[in-house]
Amino acid sequence: MAIDDRTTAVPADPAAEPSTEPGTEAAESAPAAGGTKSTWGALRPLLLRIHFYAGLLIAPLLLIAAISGLLYALSFQAEKIVYSHELRVPVGERVLPLAEQVAAAREAHPDGTVTAVWPSPEDGATTRVLMTDPSVEEGKSLAVFVDPYTAEVRGDLPSYGSSGALPLRAWISEFHADLQLGETGRNYSEMAASWMWVVALGGLALWIGRRRTAKRALVLPERGPKSRRRTLSWHGSVGLWAVTGLVILSATGLTWSRYAGENIDAVQTQLGGSTPAVSATLDGAAAGGDTGHEGHGSGHGTAPAAQGPDVGIDRAVQAAHDAGVSGKIAVTLPTEGNGYVVKETDTQFPVHLDSVAVDPADGTVIDELRFADYPVLAKLTRYGIDGHMGVLFGLANQLALAALMVALILLVVWGYRMWWLRRPTKERKLSAGRPVPRGAWRKLPVTTLLPLAAATALVGWFVPMLGLSLLAFLVVDAALGLRARVRARTRTRANTP
């Protein structure tokens, strides 16, 4: 159905346009006839129109992202159940040397090349030996699970990303990021992330800007018979509680995006906030920086195996322990020209992410990097990404993500319900809620319009998917408006005697 001033086929996401029925909050907040509008009074119709039409573009994408995000948040605990045989073993009397555990994995997979080892982080947990293997697709590793007490190989599974996502969580993560469509599918998630903060903050402004007789109605939904008013109350109240989380998810999600992500990386680099990396080169050359965007798309790289003397993985881990790097760790094996890299991988707050590089020839520490020395922006990026991935606060983080995704699903559903309840049923059977009429931007004071236009252009350039889709909407909306005026003139002429 065409978009015009009379009808639209798709609802807005967080809040629909105001009702002007007597006694409603919208009517109370509307300026008196003939009165002088404040800046907010002039800005509100524009926000309402953007908020309404944003749903036309973004609500279906947000719904997909929310459902897949909910499944992802629950997948952490599901992994522990589905892969319990590989992940857990009876606690033994003595933990065997890592070299024996790696040898067992190599014996089980002679065609594989060991790239990294994740020693058992706690009693009863298996050791993961990560390999490149012909049976595993590019970008993933084969994780061989070894009993640390007996060196028995418990099984093997594809492993994805720095968090070690196993097939269940990896599939859900990829679906959440790109709908399993590769680079083309990433446009969906970037579009959703680009618009979510706009819709969320716009809805927040509209909800706070409403007049209400009771202050509690701002934060708590109203009771009473089912109606559009009650739906809007639930929508606004829940949106108020969820808005901070939604904006954070939108911002962190953009760091993984193709277009906005490049701009974010460029700005972060210019501000000196790139994530540093420990240097493992044996000649002392500086190591390259790390983007810090692990999770939705990072695999384990491969390189030629190191040649020459090697003190062994157990000596390397002991050297790292002596340097203060211990606990939950990941060990990257030496490659040609590079030594061991031992990293702490405890992302639960307070995080433990120190790392050292060890010379395989004599076991000396050749470089070290402390998380405390990260630039502030790099730390914030780390926290944001880990929070988005549900690993910053462990189970509490995952439950919070699940609750936020449920809230987002409800917000979208309530948005559609408000649109449906607002339809003018007396005019025709198939109709839809009316948006705020065109021309709202012309009522803005110049002192507000010019800075707003400049800010919109800047944001549209920095977040290209947002800017291009908004520009496309403006062009289509203007074309439909012109067509509506031409039709109106034609009907007027036809009815003129």
Tell me what percent of the residues of the chain surpass a pLDDT of 90: 60
pLDDT attached to residue 303 = 60
pLDDT tens digits for 349-378? 999 999 999 999 999 999 999 999 999 999
**Residue 426 included in any domain:** no
Q: Is residue 398 part of a domain?
A: no
Give per-residue burial for 178-217: e unless 16+ CB within 10 Å, then b: bbeeeeeebbbbbbbbbbbbbbbbbbbebbeebeeeeeee
* Interval 199-214 mean pLDDT: 89
Ramachandran region, residue 297 (left: φ > 0; alpha: ψ -120 to 50; beta: rest)? left
Q: pLDDT of 451-464, one tens digit each?
A: 989 999 999 999 99
Q: Is residue 481 part of a domain?
A: yes
Structural domain that includes position 452: 445-489
Tell whether 36 is covered by a domain: no
Nearest in space to 287 (alpha carbons), one of 276, 273, 300: 276
Section 254-275 average pLDDT? 91
Task: Quote the pLDDT of residue 436.
Answer: 65
Q: Sheet holding 329-332: strands in order across?
A: 153-160, 140-146, 127-132, 113-118, 329-332, 340-344, 355-358, 365-369
Q: How many folded domains does the chain comprise?
A: 1
Q: pLDDT of 91-102, one tens digit each?
A: 999 999 999 999
The reply to whether 454 falls in a domain is yes
Residue with the bigger pLDDT between 289 and 72: it is: 72
Q: What letter would DSSP give residue 371?
A: G
Evaluate whether residue 282 is within a structural domain.
no
Please determine, for residue 26, whether its predicted confidence score (pLDDT) is greater than 50. no
Query: Which band of pLDDT confidence, cut at 50, 70 and 90, is reported for residue 212?
Result: confident
Task: Name the pLDDT band for 227 (thresholds 50, 70, 90).
Answer: confident
Q: What is the pLDDT of residue 27?
A: 38
Instruction: Tell me the C-alpha distance between 105 and 152, whole Å.
Output: 9
Res 25 pLDDT > 50: no
Residue 485 lies in a domain: yes
Is residue 123 included in any domain, yes or no?
no
Average pLDDT, stretch 188-197? 94
Query: For residue 158, what is the enclosing H or E element?
Result: strand 153-160
- Residues 290-337 have pLDDT tens digits of 444 455 544 444 566 666 788 999 999 999 999 999 999 999 999 999
More confident residue, 395 or 223: 395
pTM beyond cutoff 0.75: yes
